[in-house]
Amino acid sequence: MDARCTNVMPPPLLSRGMVQVVSAAEHIDQAVAELASGRPVVMPTETVYGLAVSTFDVSAIRRVYELKGRPQNNPLIAHVGSVADVWPLIDGTHPLVEPLADACWPGPLTLVLPAAPTVPLEAIGGRPTIAVRVPNHPIAQALLTAFPGPLSAPSANRSGLVSPTTAEHVAHDYMDIDGAEDLLVLDGGPCDAGIESTVLDLTCDPPRILRLGSVSSTTISEVVGPIAEIAVPNQQANAPGTAQRHYAPRIPVQVHSPTSLKHDLSDAIDLVVVIGPTDLSVAAPHLHLQIPDDVTLASRMLYRLIRQADQSGADRLAIVLPPAETKWAAIRDRLVRASAPPMQ
């Protein structure tokens, strides 16, 4: 028998009363006024939605940490309009910034560099470095043009959970959260990339990837030569936000190969929702959320599928990992983290 359904639609939002989801293009001025008053604004980027405040507004930065429930030592990425806006944020210069900017900006590559002494420690998790990038989204760009200064913006999810790739995801996550009343969410449609930026540390030699993302190590190596990549994705000391469990839904998650999934489902007495390739056979009553075979499309849909799985009513989520090939590395990384046991 066929699986009961394929792509489950998320349930309607209970309320949008607590947060204001607005059409982005018409509300740039309102967003700038909110930011100028020290209130966070949710902005779409090409990666995921971000919870933005001025990098130099320390109390607004503190508010972002509170709203997200983010650990204080996990620094924020500063978003800037162009490479020229990077220099005031960093201490000195770096010869690889311009070539990387030429190759990858605007786009989902974040560079970690020594922070200028003027950058508040609150914005960088008390570290001596700052992460910067130029986002490739017309609304983020419009906001950065209209607002004087960089915008620090972590992903707009509650800490540890799945990043939002639509305005509805943000509204859903902040609906019942104290302090999110009247939070302005600029709806810029679904995010194009759908997973977070690649984070590249330029403070070491050779440069090192701290977080995998849609800019591949191959693209970066073509510009900078050899690079190091963190193989085990839980090295908290270097990238505090890369805790092993991350991007996780609320229901339990296991990762599988197609064969181990078959065994698992044949013995299952509970209801399982499966995220796996289109050609997978998943028999009812279990549910099958199909992930596209194309990496770009799969990235775009990944978090939406994980959220749908969470809301599907199933007892647990089984994910079939894509092949261990470089092009799938960032997606595999997210799925492995989503299935990691909760930290003690």
Q: Which residues bind Mg ion (CB under 5 A)?
A: 155
> Could you say which of ligand AMP, Mg ion, none residue 109 binds, taking C-beta under 5 to 8 angstroms by partner kind?
none
Q: Which is nearer to ligand AMP, 151 or 272 (CB)?
A: 151
Write the DSSP symbol of residue 143: H
Q: How far is the CB of 42 from ligand AMP (least distance, A)?
A: 13
Q: How far is the CB of 73 from ligand AMP (least distance, A)?
A: 9
Q: How far is the CB of 68 from Mg ion (least distance, A)?
A: 8
Ramachandran class of 63: left when φ > 0, alpha when ψ lies in -120 to 50, beta otherwise: alpha
H-run or E-run covering 23: strand 19-23
Q: How far is the CB of 304 from Mg ion (least distance, A)?
A: 16
Distance separating alpha carbons of residues 132 and 104, to the nearest angstrom: 13
What mask, x for binding ligand AMP by CB under 6 A, covers residues 153 to 192? -xx-------------------------------------
And the tokens for 65?
A: 């940490």
Q: How far is the CB of 154 from Mg ion (least distance, A)?
A: 5
Question: How many CB atoms neighbour CB 183 within 10 A?
Answer: 22
Judged by CB under 6 A, the residue of 4, 39, 94, 127 near ligand AMP is 127
Judged by CB under 6 A, the residue of 40, 241, 249, 276 near ligand AMP is 241
Q: How far is the CB of 316 from ligand AMP (least distance, A)?
A: 25
And the tokens for 24?
A: 């982005």
Q: Which is nearer to ligand AMP, 76 or 305 (CB)?
A: 76
Q: Across the strands, what pairs with 272?
A: 316
Q: At what angle do helices 217-224 and 97-104 cross, to 10 degrees?
A: 140
Distance separating alpha carbons of residues 182 and 74, to the nearest angstrom: 25
Q: Applying CB under 6 A, which part among 1-9, 71-79, 290-298, 311-319 lies near ligand AMP?
A: 71-79
Distance separating alpha carbons of residues 41 and 156, to the nearest angstrom: 10
Backbone dihedral angles phi then psi of residue 248, each to the nearest 5 degrees = -95, 140
Residues that bind ligand AMP (CB under 6 A): 74-77, 112, 124, 127, 129-131, 154-155, 196, 199, 210-211, 239-242
